[in-house]
Structure 1
Amino acid sequence: MSEPLTFGVEEEFFVVDAAGHLSERGGEVVEDADEPDGELQKELTRAQAESATAICHSPDELLDQLKSLRAKLAGAAAKRGLRLLASGTAPLPESGPPGITPGARYQRMAEHFGATAHSGATCGCHVHVAIPDKEAGVRVINQVRRRLPALLALLANSPITDGADTGYSSWRYQQWTRWPSAGPPPRFSSLDHYESLIDGWLRAGAILDRGMVYWDVRLSDKQPTIEFRVTDVAAVPEDAALLAVLARGLVQTALNDEEALPELPNEVLRGHLWRASRDGAEGRIPHPVHGDLVPAPAVFDELFTHVSDALKAAGDHEFAEEGLARHRASGGGAQRQRDAFADGTNLCAVVDLLAVPPPS
């Protein structure tokens, strides 16, 4: 490998008022934010804002941009008496769903998909990794799909929703997969197979455009990348950078050598993802090779070993090793939310935990 694959990260956030309730001023926050290194964008609902890093080459560069983008959005929110929350779902009970962001595409989605669009506001973290071409990307998807539950568990960060513990570490994943095109991709026989499924969705009206292909890992329709979409927004930017480094390692490993592993049926993979969304980083999740339940940290260690050569070649090995150690010591985002929730009454502490601090 001559040069490490480039990568970038998109993060979605909730914009809330001082008490932590969803605000409909997310678009204003995006418009008011200082000019970033990457991009700031409006999202499906008025209560959300999105950031996207520029193309990055190293984890340190990526982490710096993630911190800067969060700070710019949090600063713009603070000027309006609002806060930016890094959580996969909104923690407080709301009197009604947030409004849909103005715009022809979002309005069309809301009309076509009804309550799925209106009541399904969730915030994820998407990692883009460069690929040589789409044919190679399809082969990579086939290789990395069995690793998706580990990534989901690692960043699980949405246990508290509507004022209660859902019993899931990533309730966002349960909500998100209500979209007809969401969930794990099947194993593809070719790029034509990949495209034929998208064509079928378009013909059925299950998606309105190619931007609504919501597989947990997919080919980007606008960039020469493969895009991992399975995880909640990270509790802290360090977790997002760790995810990106591991995702880059997975892509490079898949490009270097195809795994000689038995096929994992999509029905079984869905079960693995359900378990990962329930247990998160602190529970037991299926092992990606034999499928038996093991402690999640053991699966993270297996993932690290699996991509170790690619991490070393890219100069990412120490960053990933330290990131996993930090994650294990501090606990995943879901556990930190539950610790703040305490006896099930301390929602203010959950909001305070999730709020991205504005620049001082």
Structure 2
Amino acid sequence: MIEPGKSTSTSTNESTSPRPRPSPTSGTPAPTVPLTLGVEEEFLLVDARTFRLVPAAPQVLATAAGDPNLIHAEGTRYQVEISTPVEDSAAALREDLTTLRRSLAKAARAHGCRLLAGPSPVVAVPGPLHLSDDEPRQREMARRFGSLTQTLVSCGRHVHVGTLDVDTAVAVANRVRPWLPTLIALSANSPFWDGRDTGHASWRAMAWSTWPSAGLPPHFGSTAHYCRSVQALLGSGAALDTKMVYWDLRPSAHWPTLEIRALDMSPDVDGAVLQAELARALVATALRELAEHRPDPVVREDVLRLARWRAAHDGLEGFGLDPYTGAEVPAADLAEAMLDLIAPELAAAGDLDHAAKALAGLLRDGSGAQRQRAAYARRGSLDDVLRQLADETEDL
């Protein structure tokens, strides 16, 4: 991401419905903090005929049109990445994502490849892992972390919300983290891994959390606590540097933003924009509550960890856990409860209409994980899954 500065209703069953903190009263003004958006997206490259992974990133990147700060290498040569400019509106973000995806898709086609907005390789990675030639640190990671590096061949979407200083980002993170499982369920799009159905809607979320520096972030009592936690990762050898702080949510190591990293890649731009809108509104809601001097939400750590697993397992079509009570709740109800909670902030940003319609469409048409399984069920072919992902990625 380029440096900032610009160069619905819930379940009626009250015994199991989510219990988010009460929304501010209508007479309380929202804080006048301008929040920006930026998105990083990672893509796989597959052969246009066989749909098998190909280590063609250097050739594709050399052909792609656009600013090299916006289109660049990822951890392996099977992957490419885009980083949008910092934007004030979701409409501008949509235009950026569409333009950058088109450029990469065209370049991939020129080299006999197709661009795949899929979070998992679906089929086995062929031969030895091809790490990025431009990232010597990846080779040190392979030396230190061994087989964990196989999970590098997975793709996530990172949403940056700014501009926030570190103190504010840490305080906001504590209030956003109860909703991370719901965001995982909404984005779930990786049921297949290494040629088989994993039984999870987001296996990427599970595989990535095997890194010692990944998964749910702690609840931080202060910025000093956050800094000590990062230093513990570095000092223990669990992370080479601050870029390897892989928590689902973190203050960015490089930009004045809060970075939400829990999301699977999904093929459609509309889904990407929805996730960005929800992320920004969650941050805005947290800022409002901080301005009102509300205490941090009380969330049991064991319940939140179980909620994360359940979200990765069931996705949007199954059940989740209310982060405040631990009660089993339809995942769709949790998503709608989150939308209700942040609706004032979505409206203030001009995003409520689109977010409500996009979420309703997702609940109606099914998550990415469900669509992948439906594609596989037609003929029992993983090639059909990969072809569908490629077609959806290029439908711009």
TM-score by length of 2: 0.87
| Residue number in structure 2 paired with 1:263 | 298
Q: Distance in 2 between matches of 1:157 and 1:315?
A: 27
Aligned to 1:182: 214
Q: CA, structure 1 residues 286+119, in 2 after alignment: closer, same or farther (shift >3 Å)?
A: closer
Q: Tell me the distance in 1 between the aligned counterparts of 2:347 and 2:69.
A: 27
Aligned to 1:160: 192
2:78 aligned with 1:47: yes
Q: Is the 8 A contact 2:175 2:296 kept in 1?
A: no
Give 1:343 shift.
Answer: 5.4
Contact 1:288 1:299 (8 Å CA) reproduced = no
Give the whole-Å Cα distance in 1 for the aligned partners of 2:343 and 2:94: 20
Separation in 2 of the partners of 1:209 and 1:315? 38
* Counterpart position of 1:14: 44
2:165 is aligned to 133
CA contact (8 A) 2:154 2:204 kept: yes
Kept after mapping to 2: 8 A contact 1:59/1:241: yes
Alpha carbons 1:157, 1:235 under 8 Å: kept: no
Q: Secondary structure, in 3 states, of the residue corresponding to 1:322?
A: helix
Matches within 5 A, 1:16-165: 16-18=46-48, 19-36=50-67, 39-102=70-133, 103-165=135-197
Residue 314 (str. 1) matches residue 349 (str. 2): yes
Range moving further from structure 2, 159-168 or 214-223? 159-168
Secondary structure, counterpart of 2:259 in structure 1: strand
What's the CA shift for 1:359?
8.5
Q: Which moved more, 1:86-95 or 1:202-211?
A: 86-95
Residue 219 of structure 1 corresponds to: 251
Partner of 1:273: 308
Q: Structure 1 pair 346/40, CA: closer, same or farther in 2 (3 Å)?
A: same
Contact map agreement 2:75 2:152 (CA 8 A) in 1: no
**Post-superposition offset of 1:235:** 2.7
Distance in 1 between residues matched to 2:358 and 2:152, nearest whole Å: 31
Question: 1:331 is matched with which residue?
Answer: 366
**Distance apart, 1:345 and its partner CA:** 1.7
CA contact (8 A) 2:274 2:358 kept: yes
SS of equivalent residue, structure 1 residue 269: helix
Q: Distance in 2 between matches of 1:260 and 1:340?
A: 46
**Structure 1 position 328, deviation (Å):** 1.7
3-state SS of paired residue (1:83) = strand
Q: Which of 299, 311, 323 matches 1:288?
A: 323
- Cα 1:359/1:88, change in 2 over 3 Å: closer
Name the residue aligned to 1:252: 284
Report the Cα distance in structure 2 between the residues aligned to 1:227 and 1:245, rounded to whole angstroms: 13
Q: Using the alignment, how far apart are the partners of 2:69 and 2:373 within structure 1?
A: 32
Higher alpha-carbon Rg: 2
Q: Give the counterpart letter for 1:172 in structure 2.
A: R
Is 1:234 aligned to 2:266, yes or no?
yes
Cα pair distance change 1:61/1:38, threshold 3 Å: farther
User: Counterparts of 1:14 and 1:171 in 2: how far apart (Å)?
Assistant: 16
Does the C-alpha gap of structure 1 residues 263 and 96 become closer, same or farther in structure 2, counting only changes over 3 Å? farther
Distance in structure 2 (CA, Å) of the matches to 1:314 and 1:118: 40
Structure 1 gap ranges (5+): none
Q: Is the 8 A contact 1:74 1:359 kept in 2?
A: no
In the alignment, which of 296, 300, 304 is matched to residue 339 of structure 2?
Answer: 304
Kindly state the Cα deviation for residue 122 of structure 1 after the two structures are TM-superposed.
1.0
1:247-266 CA-partner distances (Å, limit 9, x unpaired)? 00000100011465652233
Identity %: 41
Unpaired runs of 5+ residues, structure 2, are 1-30
Q: What code does the residue aligned with 1:111 have?
A: R
Task: Measure, in 1, the Cα distance between the counterparts of 2:277 and 2:172.
Answer: 16
How far off is 1:234 after superposition? 1.8
Contact 2:43/2:81, CA 8 A, preserved across alignment: yes
Equivalent-residue separation in structure 2 for 1:99 and 1:85 (angstroms)? 18
Change (3 A) 1:62 1:142: same
Using a 3 Å threshold, how does the CA distance of structure 1 residues 36 and 241 change in structure 2: closer, same or farther?
farther
Shift of 1:344: 6.6
CA contact (8 A) 1:38 1:65 kept: no
For the Cα contact (< 8 Å) 2:285–2:342, is it kept in 1? yes
Distance 1:63 1:97 in 2: 36
Amino acid at match of 1:62: L
Question: Aligned-residue CA RMSD in angstroms?
Answer: 1.8
* 1:38-81: CA deviation from partner (whole Å, max 9, x where unpaired): 70121111101111110011111111111111111111100000
**Secondary structure at the residue paired with 2:316?**
helix
- Please say which of residues 227-236 and 339-348 is displaced more in the overlay: 339-348
| 1:119–1:280 Cα change, 3 Å | closer
Q: Residue 3 of structure 1: CA displacement?
A: 5.9
Q: Which residue of 1 aligns with 2:7?
A: none
Q: Which AA in structure 1 matches 2:167?
A: E
